[in-house]
Chain A
Amino acid sequence: KAGVTQTPRYLIKTRGQQVTLSCSPISGHRSVSWYQQTPGQGLQFLFEYFSETQRNKGNFPGRFSGRQFSNSRSEMNVSTLELGDSALYLCASRESGELFFGEGSRLTVL
């Protein structure tokens, strides 16, 4: 089976812009979650989706949003980017309690 695929792998944006990141889970996995990874902060939970429904959301401002499609692919969007949004955004699909992570999308905000 192919692993979790995230696109794009790297991107550079300027403050005030918006960004959309994409995640394709492992085939057959219906749960997709997103995490923000920054140095010293570890992985911070953003949200989790299952069958197109958001089941939980982390403590992030409303500028961070996500959605899941009927084929389980997921996107997250960050609007009005701030310098502090620079991070590695990780997507994970889940089965039997185990998270399978993609390689992440590294966002740099200038």
Chain B
Amino acid sequence: GENVEQHPSTLSVQEGDSAVIKCTYSDSASNYFPWYKQELGKGPQLIIDIRSNVGEKKDQRIAVTLNKTAKHFSLHITETQPEDSAVYFCAAYSGTYKYIFGTGTRLKVLA
């Protein structure tokens, strides 16, 4: 069935270093790949997304890459800051009104 695998489940980095989170999806019909950030006690919030006709997208310190052939997409955060500490979820959407989410990555940025 439809599935999104996300790794790692936890990630600790020093402030200023880069962080990379990777996801793999199973449904080849997926055409939209958003990333959500969830802070403690809050709902997930969209931070960046990419559509299947694009290989890379960047927004200031965050970027997402997509490899449709391998069904991989990744989130890159550069120059990490303490406020980047949160849980990050990747998701895949194939036009059936439901998003398939990964299991989340808890990112800790150490000052």
Residues of A within 8 A of B (CB): 4, 31, 33, 35, 40-45, 48, 50, 55-56, 58, 90, 92, 97-104
Contact = CB atoms under 8 A, between A and B. Distances in A.
A14 to B, nearest CB: 25
Given A48-B97, A99-B44, 17 more contacts: A4-B43, A31-B97, A33-B97, A33-B98, A33-B99, A42-B6, A42-B101, A42-B103, A42-B104, A45-B101, A48-B98, A90-B44, A92-B43, A97-B49, A99-B36, A101-B36, A103-B43
B14 interface: no
A56 B43 contact: no
A31 B97 CA distance: 9
6 contacts: A48-B98, A56-B97, A56-B98, A99-B36, A101-B43, A103-B43
B103 A45 contact: no
Contacts of A4: 43
A103 B45 CA distance: 10
A43 B98 contact: no
- Chain B binding surface, main DSSP class: strand
A92 B101 CA distance: 14
B44 A101 contact: yes
B42 interface: yes
A103 B49 contact: no
Given A48-B97, A103-B41, A103-B43, A43 B89 contact: yes
Interface in B32-65: 32, 34, 36, 41-46, 49
